[in-house]
Amino acid sequence: MPKPKNESMAPRRAALYIRVSTEEQARKGYSLPAQKEDLEEYAHKNGYAIAGYYIDEGKSARKKYTKRKEFMRMLEDVKAGKIDVILFIKLDRWFRSVADYYKIQEILDAHNVAWKTTQEHYDTETTNGRLYINIRLSVAQDESDRDSDRIKFVFDSKVARGEVISGSLPMGLMIQDKHVVPDPETADIVREFFRHYKEHGTINGAMTYIRETYGIILWDPSARKMLHNPLYKGMYRDNPNYCEPLIPPEEFDAIQKLLERRSIRQNESGRVYIFAGLLKCQECGQKMTGSHSTDKKCERKFYRCRNATIYHRCTHRRQMGENKLEKWLLLNLPLELDRWETEWNIATSKVKHPKVDRAAIQRKMDRLKDLYVNELITMEQYREDWAKYSAQLQEAQETEPTPPPDFRSLRELLQYELPNIYPTLTPEQHRDLWRSVIQEICLDGDNIPRVIFRE
C-alpha cells in the first residue's frame, strides 16, 4: 500500500556507517574523519535527515559482522524502524563476504531499508544491478583471501627459518638478530619456576618461591600461560626447532601431563563456591577467590583477597567464611534492598528531567506537513523545521527518566519465596540464584558486606 502523500514528504532517516581497519587508518579517503565528512555532505545534498553515526574503528571487513559492535547496533535500529537508508562510502566498507551480504540484505529488505554508497554507484532494483554487486563482492573477497594467503606464506617462511614475527615474548626470552634466544637476565628464573612446579606440583608454591627468591611477582594468569607456552621448549607453530629450548622438550612435556592430571583432579572434586565471582575486596578493588581447609570434622570454605595474602599489595587479610556470608545474606538482604531503593530514589530525585510535550511537537510536525502540501512553505523551510522538531523528539526520548527497578517483586522474592525454596536447592542452584539477584558483594577491611543488586 503506498504511503499517504503527506507522510512521504518527511525526509528519509539516514544511518551513516563508517568502518576502518587498523591498517587503513592512514590511507587517504579511508580515515574516520574523511568518511564522516563525505557521508555528511552526501546526506545534506540529498535531503536526508541523519539518524545516527555508527563507527567501527579497527575492524576488518573479513571479520564476522557480529564482531562489529556498531554494525550490530545499527541492525537493531533497523529492526526498531529508526532507519530508512544506510549510507557508506564504498561497498568494501560494508562487506567482503557474499554470504554475509545476503544475510544482512534479507534483514534490510524485511524492514524496507535501502543502502547507498557515496563514491560508487550500485543498482539493487534490477537483475543486472544485483549481479554486478555479487561480482564486486566476490572480487573483493577473493582479493582479501589472496592478501591473507600471501601474508600467511611470508609468516610461514619466517617461522621455518626461525625468524621472529612478533615482538612480544614471555619472560626468559629475548630477540637477537631477528631470532628468539634465552634472555641471560631472566632465563634462570624461568627455569627455576618450571623446576619448582615439577617438583612440588603447585603453581602458587612456584610463584611464592620466585617472589621470595628473586623478588619478582608473577600473577596467576601469566604464570599459567608460561607453563603452557611451547616456545619454552623451542617450538612455535609447526616448527619444533624454532629457537633454542629454555626448558628441555621432554621436561616441558612431562609438566604438561602434570598440569592435565591436576586439572582433572580439581574438576573431579565437585567443590562448588556459591559466591565465586561475586566478592570484591573494597580495599584494592580485586575479586576475592575461594579456598578451603579440611580437618577431621568437616570442610570449611572461605574467600580471601589474593592481592593481600599472596602478593602483599593490600591490607585486607581477613578471610570471609562461606557459611557466615550465606547466613548474613539470608538475614539482611531485605534491609540491603531497602537501602538500595532509598539510594536510588535520592539519586534520581536530584536529576532534573526537562518537561517536553512530545504530543505538542508531533502536532507541530503534522501541521508542518499540511503547510508544505498546501504550498505555504518551501521545501527548504519544511526540511529545516522538520529536522528541528525531529531533534527535539530525539532529545526528549534520550532525557526521559530511567524506569525504576521492580523493587516490589524483588522484595517479595527475598522475604517470602527465598526462605522456603533456598533449603531445597543444590549448591550449584545456590550459586546461580545469587548470581541472578546480586551483581557484586563488596567486603571492606572488617569484612562488612555491601550488596550491589542487578538492575
Active-site residue, selected from the candidate residues 8, 21, 138, 349: 21
**Which 3 state secondary structure label does DSSP give 115?**
strand
**Helix ranges, 215-321 (H):** 220-228, 249-268, 306-309
Residues with Cβ < 8 Å from 87, sequence gap 6 or more? 14, 15, 16, 17, 39, 42, 43, 48, 115, 116, 117, 118
Residues 410, 437 contacting (CB under 8 angstroms) = yes
274 near 321, Cβ under 8 Å?
A: no
- Single-letter residue type at 398: E
What are the counts of helices (DSSP H) followed by strands (DSSP E) for the chain? Answer: 17, 12
Which residue, among 382, 380, 353, 379, has the nearest Cα to 365 in the 3D structure?
A: 382
Report phi then psi at 279, rounded to 5.
-85, 135
Q: How far apart are the first and last CA of the chain?
A: 43
Task: Note if 21 is an active site residue.
Answer: yes
User: At residue 294, what are phi and psi to the nearest 5 degrees?
Assistant: -130, 130
| Close Cβ partners of 43 (under 8 Å, ≥ 6 residues apart) | 14, 16, 49, 50, 87
Joined together, the cell numbers standing for residue 395 give 532529545
| CA–CA distances in Å: residue 317 to residues 301, 304, 306, 308 | 16, 7, 9, 6
DSSP reduced 3-state for 174: strand
Tell me the CB-side half-sphere exposure of residue 212, using CA atoms within 13 A: 8
Give the active site residues: 21
